[in-house]
Amino acid sequence: MASHLFTPIRLRELTLKNRVIISPLCQFSAIDGNAVPWHWAHIGQFAQSGAGLCILEATAVSAVGRITPGCLGLYSDDNEAALTRLLKDTRTFSDMPMGIQLDHAGRKASTRPTWDLPKGNNVPDEEGGWKPEGPSPEPFTPAWRTPIELDAAGLARVRDEFVESTRRADRCGFDLIEIHAAHGYLLHEFCSPLTNHRTDAYGGDLMGRLRFPLEVAKAMRDAFPAHKPIGVRITGEDWVEGGLTLDDAVVFAKALKDIGIDYVTPSAGNVAPGMKLPKVVPGYMVHFAEKVKREAGITTMTVGMIYDPHHAEQIVASGVADMVAIGRAIMDNPRWPWHAATALGERIDTPKQYARSSPQHWPAYAQVHGVQLRAGEGVMSHATRE
């Protein structure tokens, strides 16, 4: 029986060979927003993996919108040139579609990378830090910087920054854009009642709070070629009392679908302190995608500690979600899709240079080189030459 995980899926005119998606994975290694050799190594290994799509890490639409000083950006000509080179080089050896996640960190900007957090969250001015901006002038905690509240001119500027980065992404050659509206960053901050205390048209009830993210998404959709898809990472729940709920996520997803967004990826949390997480087990956020897909009628990608290929297969086969985003598992094992395909009895493209190392190619290798695999064994180190 054919694997559901390794069947194609079409998003507008982009066809993905399978439903395994490499999730955006922040590296905090850019210089002035520019990709550096680390990104060539990081993305290069994933481009050989056989996944259906790779989405580059959260990439800021402005210098102020970076999470850390080391975050990728797509707000300058230098940023654009670096990412154009990265894609051009990657495509000399891989035809994997490449997406990019565009983001503005909001009040969570000017923070340290994960490995520097013992020094404190915010980067001080003397170390290159800056003043963040957000929907309301309230810091994440009293120890964090207080953001500048975006006024009407600020909102127009940020919307235009998302649009300009969208145009740059197209010129770079990206096949897909994912808008980051989760994890406590700017667009999520507008959505959540925990962080949006505005009294103008961009605050108040749910539709008022969704107004700015929807305006941004619509402007980006209008600026991106019609044949290329756009998705949005949204929030399933804030996991803080009084925050966003899964029902709110359904409303947001329906509104996004209405303006031409092609898929959503429901994630959760990180918008405010005091989160009360559920038991964190593999697939602990899959139910978000299930409800959103069922009730909003939109294509969904799911996330959340999905490590086992059979688990990923079950998610897609049952119709709970249309795509599975793999993050930590593929950082740990950049060949995850190779092994997943073998486990599920499928064959996927692998680089010819590495073919003799891939389990799916061992029988052919054995035939050509006169190697006999022992019955029941699946490892070349257990092979013998007659």
Is position 185 annotated as part of the catalytic site?
Answer: yes
Domains of the chain: 9-348 (3.20.20.70), 350-386 (no CATH)
Rounded to whole angstroms, the Cα distance separating 278 from 239 reads 8
Q: What are the pLDDT digits (tens) for 47-86?
A: 999 999 999 999 999 999 999 999 999 999 999 999 999 9
CA 5 to chain centroid, in Å, comes to 18
Q: Return the pLDDT at 361.
A: 60
Q: Return the pLDDT at 384.
A: 36
Query: Residue range 254-264: average pLDDT?
Result: 98
Rounded to whole angstroms, the Cα distance separating 373 from 120 reads 55
Query: Residue range 179-198: average pLDDT?
Result: 98
Q: What are the pLDDT digits (tens) for 350-381?
A: 888 887 776 666 555 555 555 554 544 444 33
Maximum Cα–Cα distance for the chain, whole Å? 80
CA 41 to chain centroid, in Å, comes to 18
Q: Which of 75, 185, 202, 263 is catalytic?
A: 185
Signed CA dihedral, 197, 202, 205, 210: sign only: negative
SS3 72: coil
pLDDT above 90: percentage of residues in the chain: 86
